């Protein structure tokens, strides 16, 4: 699944620079995540970096964008042009 940012977001700016795929951006009112770019950090890290740093825990899985770990891995490879290490 891709991740999403809920309306509990306080616009603290800590999640955006942590995203290795540049999937997080400032929306009209809160930060948002582009599901086409979000891999939940698969291929980059063991855990989703935005979730790790979010002080208000407002970044759950997006039920509208269900993806398996394998699908996220393929998206990572498509976005970066390389296979994950490990």
pLDDT at residue number 82: 83
Tens digit of pLDDT for each residue in 12-32? 999 999 999 999 999 999 999
Q: Which domains does the chain have, with CATH numbers?
A: 16-80 (3.30.70.20)
pLDDT at residue number 84: 57
Tens digit of pLDDT for each residue in 52-86? 999 999 999 999 999 999 999 999 999 999 875 54
pLDDT at residue number 22: 97
Report the pLDDT averaged over residues 45-54. 97
Residues in CB range of 43: below 8 A, 6 or more apart: 72, 73, 76, 77, 80, 84
């Amino acid at each position: 699944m891709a991740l999403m940012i809920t309306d509990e977001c306080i616009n603290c700016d800590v999640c955006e620079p942590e995203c290795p795929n540049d999937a997080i951006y400032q929306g009209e009112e809160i930060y948002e995540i582009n599901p086409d770019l979000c891999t939940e950090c698969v291929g980059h890290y063991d855990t989703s970096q935005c979730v790790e740093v979010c002080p208000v825990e407002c970044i759950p899985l997006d039920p509208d964008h269900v993806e398996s770990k394998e699908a996220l891995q393929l998206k990572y490879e498509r976005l970066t042009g390389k296979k994950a290490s490990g």
